[in-house]
Structure 1
Amino acid sequence: MADEAAVVEEGGASAAQSPLVAVSFQRNVHRNKKYLEAEPKALGVTQIGLSAFQIICVGVLLAKGLGQIHTDVSFFISSLLVVIAGAVAVAAQNLHLPTLRACLGMQIVACGASLFNMICILVKMDHMPSFCWAYYYDNITLHYGDICSNIESIHSHFYAEGVLIEAALLAISVTLAVYCCKVVNCCTPAPKMTVITVQAPAVQQ
């Protein structure tokens, strides 16, 4: 009886010393799923589509003799980099860590490429020559002068649309890069989540 009383007393002492609620901090093993919150498939496909649209439009203008070969070649290369970045963003949906790191690097490159393309378009808008002034010296060709003015207006609106598209591509690249940073943890240490463990007291029989 004395031995049984001693065992019960020791068990009660250990139960009294063990906490009923334990708080610990653990790494969030599901943090890589935070990348999916950015909707990478939609944003990546948007990057590919808008960049392909820019490439086709500039290619058509260049084929018609309305482009500038020394700037359009650089524009093509930058747009292709954005297309590759969009493809990597879609591929990173498998949440494979090396692919996510590649996505982060390509999105940073895409940010620079979109900014470069925006500057190129603004430079071309600023240096766009005007040919319509020659039509207004003769009343006979006044009709052709109006047509020429409309064409120049369409040309300037086309470049303005290009600036808006590049701004959208820049915003998409920044968004995907931020979400990749949260997953890859290249700038800050991995966040820890609070885990609360509730222990039920032992039932004495």
Structure 2
Amino acid sequence: MADEAAMAEDGIGPAQTPLVEVSFQKNIHRNQKYLEAEPKALGVTQIGLSVFQIICVAVFLAKGLSHIGIDIPFFISSILVLIAGSVAVAAQNLHLPTLRACLGMQIVASGASLYNVVCSLIKMEDTPTYCWHYYYDNSTLRTGEICHSIENIRSHFYAESVLIHAALLAISVTLAAYCCKVVNCCAPAPRMTVITVQAPAVQQ
């Protein structure tokens, strides 16, 4: 009411509009925020590291250096991270349902990577049972040395595996954070300030 009174005093008619108008609108380009995370590079990294881990563990199983009962959850977790990487790459089309699927898969991948870190730490400290009798048997010294070399390689592999899965955990958390910004699951959609400047009408 006060603004209308001021306009009437200044002689501005009701049909006229102010020269500067400030409004708050939804940012229609907020989906582009996801691309700032470099999802293609991070997704391909997730896929590549997961495939590497799956192949290495499969080789260990084939050579009898691991137990299938322990490694099945490890395989499943690595496959989940691989799927999450594929969805992250697919979400580059900025389709909202795909971005939501990416968010869900990255949260799952974070849990899977954390599980694999713990699993790798446990395996790194685990001594294979087939090496125990070589500690006290001097008649098979050469075989014992080979066994202990394999044990050291196995320990180093799982130490490397801890670092790989820690990196995969960081990637999953990063992608989940960017997806969260785009799909607005944690906060309302951000609004941007729009200032409209209108040219004054030319008086005849």
TM-score range, shorter chain: 0.7 to 0.9
TM norm structure 2 = 0.86
Between Structure 1 and Structure 2, whose CA radius of gyration is higher? 1
1:27 Cα shift?
0.3
Given residue 120 of structure 2, which amino acid in structure 1 is its aligned partner? I
What residue number does 2:12 align with? 14
What residue number does 2:51 align with? 52
1:55 Cα shift?
0.3
Give the distance between the partners of 2:19 and 2:127, measured in 1 at CA: 76
Superposed CA offset, 1:75-124 (max 9, x none): 11111111111111111111110010000000000001111111111111
What residue number does 1:191 align with? 190
Structure 1: 5+ residue runs without aligned partners?
A: 1-9
What residue number does 2:100 align with? 101
Given residue 53 of structure 1, which amino acid in structure 2 is its aligned partner? F
Give the distance between the partners of 1:179 and 1:149, measured in 2 at CA: 45
Any idea what SS the aligned residue of 1:194 has?
strand
Any idea what SS the aligned residue of 1:13 has?
coil
Given residue 134 of structure 1, which amino acid in structure 2 is its aligned partner? Y
Any idea what SS the aligned residue of 2:105 has?
helix
Give the distance between the partners of 2:170 and 2:13, measured in 1 at CA: 57
Further displaced range: 47-56 or 191-200: 191-200
Structure 2: 5+ residue runs without aligned partners?
A: 1-7
What residue number does 1:181 align with? 180
What residue number does 1:127 align with? 126
What residue number does 1:112 align with? 111
Percent of matched pairs sharing the same residue: 73
TM norm structure 1 = 0.85
Give the distance between the partners of 2:186 and 2:108, measured in 1 at CA: 17
Any idea what SS the aligned residue of 1:186 has?
coil
1:145 Cα shift?
5.0
Give the distance between the partners of 1:201 and 1:39, measured in 2 at CA: 45
1:166 Cα shift?
0.3
Give the distance between the partners of 1:42 and 1:34, measured in 2 at CA: 15
Work out whether residues 124 and 156 of structure 2, in 8 Å CA contact, stay in contact via their aligned partners in 1.
no
1:203 Cα shift?
2.4
What residue number does 1:74 align with? 73
Number of residue pairs aligned between Structure 1 and Structure 2: 194
